[in-house]
Structure formats: structure tokens, C-alpha cells
Amino acid sequence: MSRSLKGCIVGAGYFARFQYQSWQSIPEVEIVANCNRTLEKAEAMAADYGIPSSYAGADFEEMLVREKPDFVDIITPPETHLEFCRIAFKHGVHMICQKPLAPTWDETLELLELVKAHPEVRFMVHENWRWQPWYREIKAILDSGVLGDFHHLNFLCRLGDGWGEDAYLARQPFFRDYKRLFIFETGVHFLDTFRFLFGEVSSLYASTSRRNPVIAGEDSALIVCHFREGGSAVLDANRYGEPDASIENPRYTFGRLRLDCSKGNLTLSEEGSIRIQLLGEEATVHPYSPSQEGFAGNCVHATQQHFVKQFLAEEPFESEAHDYLKSIELVELAYQSAANNQVQKLPS
């Protein structure tokens, strides 16, 4: 299939590599340039992925003017997003932008106003968690009705990458300075995925703590959600405690899950295996083959394939900005709940 979309990228950090790898393998896309705060890092990444041109971060606008891309992938820290997006909107360049969208609620709303003011420019949030293959499979199982009505989900997450004096330095050192950390950076993924699986949240309670004194923000959270259509979910997560010693890659599924329904239960293991046990019957392994490539079941690639497919078809994205705002609102409510130790109710 011939390439039909020209793209540019801003950002060349740890996680960006997964996105560069994905674009390289999507035949409809050609990445024509990249840029980064330090030009040397942009050039090094460009050399790895055969990108012909590189720019310093300060020359982002020049890159858009010269290269005339169809879209730009924004893979930079959240405090930079608003300005990059403002420039892209100015030049009519479509965007896929990493989460968190912005460092504050007010700045998020400012970005959403830009999206509303430029309906001719496509904008998708790069929210890849719901694209992990086990969640797509679980959604299909729930929709099939084999498990009956949803009752409760419990997710246990222990990553073990946040203890010690050197916590987060290897991959994402800026995490150490975030006054809001776990829910802002990681919890939002789970909250968005809960919405994908079970619909909108009706109430939420959260409790947080900071277990590693060398960081600024919370590294542990307990979040309880109830859903408008019935059922509840509990996320019990922290980045300080280590997973079971037998777990080879705790960042594959990021934990284990149990889902209870009216006709039985479903479990997801840390290795990505799904087991279904109907009431009164033996548990069986659900047949599917999650990818071992890329990040977390190759969910980055699935996300970017979705962007290209929907863009070319002129169809809506799953994570349109106005919809993703609902997930960001849950993050804000979680912090409010943790601060006042009260359940937060959402309007029906």
C-alpha cells in the first residue's frame, strides 16, 4: 500500500521510541522530520528510524512550515503541550498528542477550547491503555453476554520501579518532581479503561500516599469507582511495592485483574492470560494471542493504527478530546476525594 500521510514528531525521550517504532511500521505513514529540545537527541532518533530531517525544539514552527506535514505527533512533557498545539492549530496541522494533556485542569480546558475553535483540525489523545490486547478481548467477552451482567472488578498493581534513592531515574526522571504523580500519570490510564469497559462513572472515592520520601508526589493510590449502569471497580496500585518474584515483566499487563459477573468470573494474569470460570464449572483458558512486541501488548502500535485508520476514513477517534476530558475529570475528582476523604459524585 502506498504511503499517503506525511507526519512530523516532536519529542525524543524514553517512551517516544515506542511511537517512532510504530510509525515506521505503518505503511500509510511517512515521518518526514522530527524535533526535540536538544537537537542532538532528535538527530540520534532520526538516524535510528530513517527520518530525513531534524530540528531543535525551538524550531517546531519552522518544521511545520517547511515540511508541511498532514499531522504531528506530540510526545513531550505535559507542560509543553499547549504551546505546541497552539502552533499546530495555527498552521492547520492535525495532531495526536500524548497524555496527560496539560499539567493543570485549567490548562486542559484552555487546550479543549482550542480544539473546539478549530473543528477543521483533527485532534486525538494518545491514550493507549484501552488498546492493550487483553482489554479489547475482555470488552468483546463482556459484550458477548457469556458472563452475564457486570458486578465488580478488582485490579492489583505493584510495579516496583519507584523505591530507592534512584527511583524513576532510568526511564522518566521528571516523575520525581511531579507533585501529582500516580493518578496523574498512571491512574488516568486505568480510569479511562474502566470507562471503556463499563461506561461512565457515577461516584468515586480515592486514598493516596507517598511511600518513597525522595519524590514529590503520591506513588500509591486506592480508587473505588461505581458505574451508572451498575457494578463497581477497585484499583489497588502503587509503584513502590514489588510484584511477585515470578513475574518476568511487571510492565506487560501492569498487574492482575479479577472481574465478577452474574454468570461467572474472568481473571487476567500478569502474563496476559485470560481465564473464564462460569458458575458451577471449571475454569478454562480463553484462546487469544496477545503481542509480545513493543509496549504492553503493542498497544502503542494499535493506538496509532487506529489514528491512521480513522483519519483516512474521516471517522471519529475513540479518544477525541471532548470524550477524554471525562477521564481527566475523574483524575481531578480522585485528588479531591483524597484531599477531603469523601466520595465524589458525578452528575447523572
So what's the pLDDT on residue 162? 83
List all residues 6 or more positions away from 111 whose beta carbon is below 8 Å from its beta carbon. Answer: 81, 82, 85, 101, 102, 321
Find the range with the poorest average confidence among 72-76, 93-97, 215-219.
215-219
**Mean per-residue pLDDT, 297-306:** 98
Mind listing the pLDDT tens digit for each residue in 172-211? 888 888 899 899 999 999 999 999 999 999 999 999 999 9
Find the range with the poorest average confidence among 247-251, 261-265, 327-331.
247-251
Please list the residue range(s) of the chain that carry CATH number 3.40.50.720.
5-126
286 has a pLDDT exceeding 80: yes
5 has a pLDDT exceeding 50: yes
What is the band of 2 on the pLDDT scale with cuts at 50, 70, 90? low
What is the band of 237 on the pLDDT scale with cuts at 50, 70, 90? very high
So what's the pLDDT on residue 167? 87
What is the band of 16 on the pLDDT scale with cuts at 50, 70, 90? very high
1 has a pLDDT exceeding 50: no
Q: Which CATH fold would you assign to the domain 5-126?
A: Rossmann fold (3.40.50)
112 has a pLDDT exceeding 80: yes
So what's the pLDDT on residue 105? 96
Which of the following CATH numbers is that of domain 130-294+328-345: 1.10.3720.10, 3.40.50.720, 3.30.200.20, 3.30.360.10? 3.30.360.10
Find the range with the poorest average confidence among 36-45, 75-84, 175-184.
175-184
Please list the residue range(s) of the chain that carry CATH number 3.30.360.10.
130-294+328-345
So what's the pLDDT on residue 169? 84
Find the range with the poorest average confidence among 153-167, 184-198, 253-267, 308-322.
153-167
Mind listing the pLDDT tens digit for each residue in 80-104? 999 999 999 999 999 999 999 999 9
So what's the pLDDT on residue 246? 85
